[in-house]
């Protein structure tokens, strides 16, 4: 580990908060929850019925009220969202304007028959109508489920069907790298066979011609006569706020279900501690709202704090690699939160580009989603932050709801170590353990677990309590299993080493191997497939696939590769496109028939193979190995793009 530390902080030294949290985590969170606005107070801070946690039981509140209504006396004219379109369009929405839009759209949803507890799928690009839709659902107690607009119609269909959404909200199209992605036609295809969907609302972003079906309504038409007043529902603290589908080790995506009171409490606290948010800040998180980072730190946390934030529609390197620096300069951004993948890409283009922009307004930098290489951390610190901004490397997951490990410049000044997410936030109990659940020694690799319930924890997996128990709470008796490897150093700092399971992190996006494999085998000529991730300079990890064809398939391999890529793009989406595809005649499997992915990975990485005693057929190893070596020699043949 890099032992060099960076002593940069913002001068905050509130060590009391940590002390309080150490003595009693329940009364600690009890105090934190009082920062929100409640319609009625709770009677019990935590109802822990392992592994189900319910926070602030008996309390009632509303997420949209906490994000919007509470600011109307003090910040009604303050910009909430400074929106920049990929094509240079811009819009500003003040806290008052945002509230008006949300009330109108809440009334629209009500007029279409939605009731508390119903589900709505939102498939929108990064336009203000996306947070407006989410906050409107929250206002009337409807559970939103946002699907990233880069997912395919098949992936969208699966999510609408699993959540049994009554309404789908989409746009005619969205801009991506200068061209229009036709979102409405993806929805048309997705809902063809779904009876649950009663209405589709189409926001007119691009004004491209679209085909209107009987269930379709235009956003502008519905909003024309909508009333501007809609009282927020008084919802119980554990009322579900949203479902967000994420990939796991099994085939189907899991619907992570988040509640209201606990989730918002963790967001409120972490936004204050980690980002040190002030009224004068301009916050810019580059995440798409389709992922959890966007839900928590583009929509709910900044708005609860009455912050001004930049929301950007398009690709971070469009029309060129300086786009982010241009936005920071233009909007005088003070806090910037992005991914290691984006930073690695920017870094490759050198210092001259960021140096030619005025980045002097920046005072705090953050990263999330995957491990950050120490040299990238240092580049971020020096070239972007000019050695004056603390960097917060924030570890968390869709399931944890909010940040769990991070430096907290808004609370305390601690030495920073490039590549380490440092320490747990106050009030959570995180450890690194071995297979048996015992704490590992200092600087020893183990599994990252969470040992006590925390406010932002998922309520369950949508419609599947058993799976929730099995996935997160069965490996260890009383701990939440995160699926990550980590070590803890002599100062108690955590270093995340990546996934311990069959989940891939490609450009920070979470992709399940099983989903990928099933879309590959849906190709008619394919008998079997196995995928794994290998390290990549920019994306952190890329996907490679090993494919066994059905007998007597004589097709040209290049043609087959193209078709397989097409299957993946249709089945999951373009983010899951394999980088390389290898054809082999069998896959290395254990005697019980499980594919030995670890082995594929070692071969692909040119590593020593290790123990193969559980292997069913040793020949598969040498075959995969030689296929790999052959193909590596003529690397261009394996490339899919």
Instruction: Kindly indicate which of the ranges 163-171, 271-279, 389-397, 561-569 contains the residues binding ligand WT7, using the contact rule CB under 6 A.
Output: 389-397
* CB of 394 vs ligand WT7, minimal distance in Å: 5
Measure the CA–CA gap between 496 and 386, rounded to whole angstroms. Answer: 26
* CB of 293 vs ligand WT7, minimal distance in Å: 5
Measure the CA–CA gap between 394 and 21, rounded to whole angstroms. Answer: 19
One DSSP character per residue, 491-549 reads: TS-EEEEEESSSEEEETTEEEEHHHHHHHHHTSTTEEEEEEEEEEETTTEEEEEEEEEE
* CB of 245 vs ligand WT7, minimal distance in Å: 11
Instruction: Kindly indicate which of the ranges 4-12, 148-156, 191-199, 392-400 contains the residues binding ligand WT7, using the contact rule CB under 6 A.
Output: 392-400
Measure the CA–CA gap between 596 and 125, rounded to whole angstroms. Answer: 38
Cβ 128 vs Cβ 299: under 8 Å? no
Judged by CB under 6 A, the residue of 191, 368, 423, 581 near ligand WT7 is 368
Q: Between residues 261 and 369, which has the closer beta carbon with respect to ligand WT7?
A: 369
Residues paired with residue 589 on neighbouring β-strands, in sequence order: 595
Q: Between residues 484 and 502, which has the closer beta carbon with respect to ligand WT7?
A: 484
Measure the CA–CA gap between 479 and 78, rounded to whole angstroms. Answer: 43
Q: Between residues 447 and 582, which has the closer beta carbon with respect to ligand WT7?
A: 447
Q: Applying CB under 6 A, does 479 fall inside the site for ligand WT7?
A: no
Burial class, 101, CB count within 10 angstroms (exposed 0-12 / middle 13-18 / buried 19+): buried
Q: Between residues 357 and 473, which has the closer beta carbon with respect to ligand WT7?
A: 473
Q: Applying CB under 6 A, does 483 fall inside the site for ligand WT7?
A: yes
Q: Applying CB under 6 A, does 363 fall inside the site for ligand WT7?
A: no
Residues paired with residue 582 on neighbouring β-strands, in sequence order: 546
Instruction: Kindly indicate which of the ranges 39-47, 277-285, 318-326, 479-487 contains the residues binding ligand WT7, using the contact rule CB under 6 A.
Output: 479-487
Q: Between residues 266 and 293, which has the closer beta carbon with respect to ligand WT7?
A: 293
Name which of residues 399 to 458 contact ligand WT7 (CB under 6 A): 421
Closest CA to 182 of 205, 162, 154: 205
Judged by CB under 6 A, the residue of 69, 238, 393, 412 near ligand WT7 is 393
Q: Between residues 57 and 345, which has the closer beta carbon with respect to ligand WT7?
A: 345
- From residue 267 to residue 296, what is the string marking binding to ligand WT7 with x (rule CB under 6 A)? -------------------------xx---
For residue 157, give the H/E element and its range: helix 153-163
Judged by CB under 6 A, the residue of 482, 513, 577, 625 near ligand WT7 is 482
Name which of residues 292 to 351 contact ligand WT7 (CB under 6 A): 292-293
Phi-psi region of 437 (alpha: psi -120 to 50; beta: other; left: phi over 0): left
* CB of 312 vs ligand WT7, minimal distance in Å: 17
Burial class, 313, CB count within 10 angstroms (exposed 0-12 / middle 13-18 / buried 19+): buried
Burial class, 462, CB count within 10 angstroms (exposed 0-12 / middle 13-18 / buried 19+): buried
Judged by CB under 6 A, the residue of 140, 347, 362, 496 near ligand WT7 is 496
- From residue 225 to residue 264, what is the string marking binding to ligand WT7 with x (rule CB under 6 A)? ---------------------x------------------
Judged by CB under 6 A, the residue of 396, 462, 472, 481 near ligand WT7 is 396
Q: Applying CB under 6 A, does 499 fall inside the site for ligand WT7?
A: yes
Q: Applying CB under 6 A, does 486 fall inside the site for ligand WT7?
A: no
For residue 569, give the H/E element and its range: helix 557-571
Residue whose pair of structure tokens reads 């908060």 in the numeric block: 17
Q: Between residues 421 and 596, which has the closer beta carbon with respect to ligand WT7?
A: 421
| Residues 372, 374, 379, 382, CA torsion sign | positive
Cis peptide before 319 (omega within 30 of 0): yes
Give the residue at shortest CB distance from ligand WT7.
398
Residues lying near ligand WT7 in the complex (CB under 6 A) are found at 246, 292-293, 368-371, 393-398, 421, 482-484, 496, 499, 505, 510
């Amino acid at each position: 580990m890099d032992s060099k530390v960076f002593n940069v902080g913002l001068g905050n030294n509130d060590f009391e908060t940590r002390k309080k949290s150490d003595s009693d985590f329940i009364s600690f969170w009890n105090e934190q929850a009082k920062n929100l606005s409640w319609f009625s107070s709770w009677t019990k801070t935590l109802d822990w019925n392992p592994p189900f946690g319910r926070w602030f039981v008996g309390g009632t509140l509303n997420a949209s009220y906490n994000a919007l209504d509470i600011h109307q006396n003090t910040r009604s004219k303050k910009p909430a969202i400074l929106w920049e379109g990929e094509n240079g369009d811009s819009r500003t929405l003040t806290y008052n304007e945002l509230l008006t839009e949300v009330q109108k759209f809440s009334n629209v949803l009500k007029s279409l028959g939605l009731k508390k507890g119903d589900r709505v799928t939102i498939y929108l690009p990064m336009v203000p109508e996306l947070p407006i839709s989410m906050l409107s659902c929250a206002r009337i107690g409807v559970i939103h489920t946002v699907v990233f607009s880069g997912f395919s119609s098949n992936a969208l269909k699966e999510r609408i069907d699993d959540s049994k959404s009554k309404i789908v909200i989409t746009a005619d199209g969205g801009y991506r790298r200068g061209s229009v992605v036709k979102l409405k036609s993806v929805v048309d295809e997705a809902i063809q066979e779904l009876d649950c969907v009663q209405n589709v609302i189409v926001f007119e972003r691009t004004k491209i011609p679209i085909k209107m079906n009987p269930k379709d309504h235009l956003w502008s038409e519905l909003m024309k006569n909508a009333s501007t007043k809609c009282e927020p529902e008084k919802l119980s603290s554990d009322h579900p706020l949203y479902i967000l589908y994420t990939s796991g080790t099994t085939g189907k995506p899991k619907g992570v279900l988040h509640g209201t009171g606990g989730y918002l409490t963790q967001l409120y606290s972490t936004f204050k501690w980690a980002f040190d948010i002030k009224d004068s800040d301009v916050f810019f998180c580059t995440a798409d709202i389709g992922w959890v980072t966007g839900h928590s730190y583009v929509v709910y946390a900044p708005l609860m704090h009455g912050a001004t934030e930049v929301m950007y529609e398009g690709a971070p390197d469009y029309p060129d690699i300086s786009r982010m620096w241009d936005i920071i300069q233009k909007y005088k951004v003070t806090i910037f939160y992005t991914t290691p993948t984006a930073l690695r890409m920017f870094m490759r283009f050198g210092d001259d580009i960021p140096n030619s922009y005025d980045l002097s307004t920046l005072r705090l930098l953050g990263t999330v989603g995957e491990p950050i290489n120490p040299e990238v951390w240092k580049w971020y610190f020096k070239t972007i932050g000019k050695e004056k901004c603390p960097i917060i490397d924030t570890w968390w997951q869709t399931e944890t709801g909010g940040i769990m490990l991070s430096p907290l410049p808004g609370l305390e000044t601690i030495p920073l170590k490039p590549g380490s997410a440092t320490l747990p936030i106050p009030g959570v109990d995180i450890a690194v353990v071995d297979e048996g659940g015992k704490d590992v020694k200092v600087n020893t690799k183990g599994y990252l677990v969470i040992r006590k319930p925390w406010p932002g924890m998922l309520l369950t997996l949508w419609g599947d309590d058993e799976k929730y128990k099995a996935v997160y709470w069965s490996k260890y008796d009383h701990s939440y299993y995160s699926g990550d490897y980590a070590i803890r150093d002599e100062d108690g700092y955590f270093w995340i080493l990546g996934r311990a399971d069959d989940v891939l992190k490609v450009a920070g996006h979470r992709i399940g191997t099983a989903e990928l494999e099933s879309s590959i085998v849906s190709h008619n000529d394919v008998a079997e497939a196995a995928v794994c991730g290998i390290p990549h300079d920019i994306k952190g990890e890329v996907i490679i696939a090993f494919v066994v064809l059905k007998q007597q398939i004589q097709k040209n391999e290049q043609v087959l590769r193209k078709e397989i890529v097409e299957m993946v793009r249709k089945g999951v989406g373009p983010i899951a496109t394999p980088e390389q595809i290898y054809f082999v005649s069998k896959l290395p499997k254990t005697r019980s028939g499980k594919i030995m992915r670890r082995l594929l990975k070692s071969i692909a990485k040119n590593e020593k193979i290790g123990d193969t005693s559980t292997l069913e057929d040793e020949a598969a190893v040498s075959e995969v190995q030689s296929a790999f070596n052959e193909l590596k020699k003529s690397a261009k043949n394996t490339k899919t793009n």
